[in-house]
Amino acid sequence: MKGVILAAGKGTRMRELTKDRPKPMLEVAKRSILEYIFDAMKKAGITDLVVVTGYFANIIEDHFGDGSSYGMKISYVRQEVQDGTGSALLLTEPLLKDEPYFFMTYGDIITSPENYPAFIKAYEERPCDAQLALSWVDDPWRGAAVYLDDEDRVIDIIEKPPKGTSKSNWNNAGLYVFRNIIYDYLKKIGLSPRGEYELTDAIRLMLKDGRDVRGVKLSGYWGDLATPEDIEKMTKILEGQE
């Protein structure tokens, strides 16, 4: 299975930390976020990657190169205008159009490495049109609230619900497997209220069409590293202080 990492964003909530580097290259416990992701993907047998770069793209591309020194094969696509996760993923279509399905994640997610092979295994055992990783949170207002039926099929996903309004504690954890059909839906979405082309809007269109979208619950630690405080918290987890 091939993999995609969306790593184009600036990370404005990181404040001064991203003034001279892209967020995926920030260090957590002395390693960059991307290195943790690469290692976890290798555990799942994913070594052929497409990385979408944008903000300070050259730093990522120059550092990792073709991936051979990391035991991987890496291709790059640049998102010149950072206008959303949906448009970022759509840029990968020319490289993945012949793949029946592929794995995708974001360049600012760190989770227990064992979640990656478990997530891929879950897809292999129950193939579907889209598979989403889920993390349990107090309130998914920072991410996307995911609603499930009794068989863990996704019935709705709400991007950044206002704080205190979500009736689900399941948060979209940023790991996916998509069938190639996702590209058709990405071409149908319009700008969101936030002025972006959002991947969750494509997933909602899939749900509207009755596509099989499933959720897989993660175990262990998980973090969406959006702020300096998130970096500090994840550093403590990885160094065994929490």
Q: How many CB atoms lie within 10 A of CB 7?
A: 26
Domain ranges for the chain? 3-238
pLDDT for res 11: 87
What is the distance between the alpha carbons of residues 201 and 207, in angstroms, rounded to a whole number?
10
* Cβ 242 vs Cβ 233: under 8 Å: yes
pTM: 0.96
pLDDT tens digits along 160-213: 999 999 999 999 999 999 999 999 999 999 999 888 999 999 999 999 999 999
Q: How large a percentage of the chain has pLDDT more than 70?
A: 100
3-state secondary structure of 106: strand
Helix (H) or strand (E) holding 37: helix 33-43
Q: Is domain 3-238 given the CATH code 3.10.180.10 in the classification? A: no
pLDDT tens digits along 35-63: 999 999 999 999 999 999 999 999 999 99
3-state secondary structure of 240: coil
Angle at 182 between CA 221 and CA 227, to 5 degrees: 35
The residues near 193 (Cβ < 8 Å, ≥ 6 apart) are none
What is the distance between the alpha carbons of residues 10 and 199, in angstroms, rounded to a whole number?
18
DSSP letter (8 states) at residue 43 = H
